[in-house]
Structure 1
Amino acid sequence: MKKTKMNIICMALLLATGVVKADVDTKAFASCASIDGDLSRLECFDSLAKKNKLDGPQSLKLDKTAMGDWYVDKKINPVDDSQTVTMVLESKSGKSKWGRNVGLVLRCSQNTTDMYITWGEYLGSEAKVLTRIGSEKASTENWSLSTDSKASFKRNPIVLIKQMLGQSKFVAQVTPYNESPVTAIFDISGIDNAVKPLRETCGW
């Protein structure tokens, strides 16, 4: 579980910064993720980050006790000093056919808010994603795809993120190409506090 969570966080942060956009990058990440030793695996991810110039300084000062299971990362772009805030949450249930947990990512970069889900397997040419917040009625929408078709991006996500505030459960379901549906359940408790840096950075 610890190894899986580390892999999801590293994958989400690499995707958030635009690294995982080609097969060679995906293969490089998969190679790191397959390493058994924690130290060796971290060294591999560090090497991948340095190769793609993502090893700059970062800072994070938040009350983690009020953030639930959210992982929040802040980075400063050395080119223009703009701040990127990335939030990552691992699913409590629901895995890909490879046994990997699903990851939910919220991000503010260059004054743009993104929300995407890393499913860990090929989705095909489209992603119809069913979502449900708390006890509200479920809805299905077409989400955009990442370049490797393994992650789905919510269009105009701010409204949905605001609906998640004050809630503790978020459900997402998608049907990968030629596979059975994958249903991921996230414990989003603490989102109100965890999302504050993102909202401040993106100004909403």
Structure 2
Amino acid sequence: MMRQILLVAVSLLLAANASAAINEKEYAKCAIVEGEQARLECFDNLAVAKKLNVRQVKPASFVGKGKWYVSVDGGSKAVTLTLNADSGKNRWGKPVYLVVRCKNNTTDLYIGWNDYLGREASVMTRVGTNKAITQSWSMSTDKNTTYHNEPIAFIKELLDSPKLVTQVTLYNDSSVTAVFNTSGLANIIQPLRDSCGW
């Protein structure tokens, strides 16, 4: 039992990030508490105080995923696929990013432009060598992100293409063009499809 408690303590230490690091004095204080239950309670309280008691979402590993970052949260069944643009940055140099997500049984596809878009946004998209299409997309409350209105159909279109070109006009009338290498999406989409039931 002592070994299990020590394993829990070491796990807590390893899980801590820089902002929530447990200093040696706090760790030592719990380590010297007498009684297994009291010692475990001390470590549990330390984890709560340092906000280490939440489920840790780990990136999933896939073969042939291209440049996609994959996050699967088994507890909530949320699946998030994120891709930074190969080219396309806002005026401050922050990259444009694409997110395909299933959360709470809802599929979303959105583009984070990292810039203020104004009150409405028309997004031009060209999937592979197909003809470019301009459509009105929904927007986030901070007006920095656009949401595709028919995400599942658009995602299915992306599955057959290695490239997506997008463009939006910003509030100040300048435009941002972002090019995404969507290769590998077909290799990582299944957990998202399973989670959202399509």
- Flag the 1:99–1:143 CA change in 2: closer, same or farther, 3 A: same
- Find the residue that maps to 2:156 and give its secondary structure: helix
The equivalent residue for 2:57 is: 58
1:166 to partner: Cα distance: 2.3
SS of 1:121 mapped into structure 2: coil
Q: Between the two proteins, what is the percent identity of the paired residues?
A: 45
Compute the displacement of 1:61 (Å).
4.1
> Once the two structures are superposed, what CA deviation does each residue of 1:144-181 show, in whole Å capped at 9, x if it has no partner?
11111000011121001000112100011000101311
Say which SS state the counterpart of residue 66 (structure 1) adopts: coil
1:125 to 87, 107, 119: 119
Query: For residue 67 of structure 1, what is the aligned residue in structure 2?
Result: 65
- For residues 177-203 of structure 1, the C-alpha deviation after alignment (integer angstroms, 9 at most, x for no partner) is 013110000000000012111111111
Structure 1, 191-200 or 131-140: larger mean CA deviation: 191-200
Q: Displacement, 1:55?
A: 4.5
2: CA distance between counterparts of 1:53 and 1:113? 29
Match of 2:177 in 1: 183
Q: Count residues with an aligned counterpart.
A: 155
TM-score (norm 1): 0.70
Q: Give the distance between the partners of 1:170 and 1:111, measured in 2 at CA.
A: 25
What's the CA shift for 1:82? 3.2
Residue number in structure 2 paired with 1:33: none
Superposed, 1:140-155 pairs within 5 Å as 140-155=134-149
Counterparts in 2 of 1:108 and 1:137: CA distance versus 1, 3 Å: same
Q: Distance in 2 between matches of 1:179 and 1:44?
A: 40
In our comparison, the structure showing a higher alpha carbon Rg is 2
Identify the residue that residue 153 of structure 2 maps to in structure 1. 159
Residues 61 and 105 of structure 1, relative CA distance in 2, 3 Å threshold = closer
Code of the aligned partner of 1:56: R
> In the alignment, is the contact (CA less than 8 A) between 2:59 and 2:69 conserved in 1?
no
Letter paired with 2:68: W
For structure 2, which runs of at least 5 residues remain unmatched after alignment?
A: 1-16, 22-48
The residue correspondences of 1:10-159 to structure 2 (distance < 5 A) are 43=18, 55-63=54-62, 65-76=63-74, 81-159=75-153
Residue type matched to 2:119 in 1?
S
Amino acid at match of 1:113: T
Classify the secondary structure of the residue corresponding to 1:189.
coil
TM-score, length-scaled by structure 2: 0.72
**Structure 1 residues 159 and 69, CA gap change in structure 2 (3 angstroms):** same
**Structure 1: 5+ residue stretches without partners:** 1-41
Deviations 1:105-149 (A, max 9, x none): 000011110000000010000010000100000101111111110
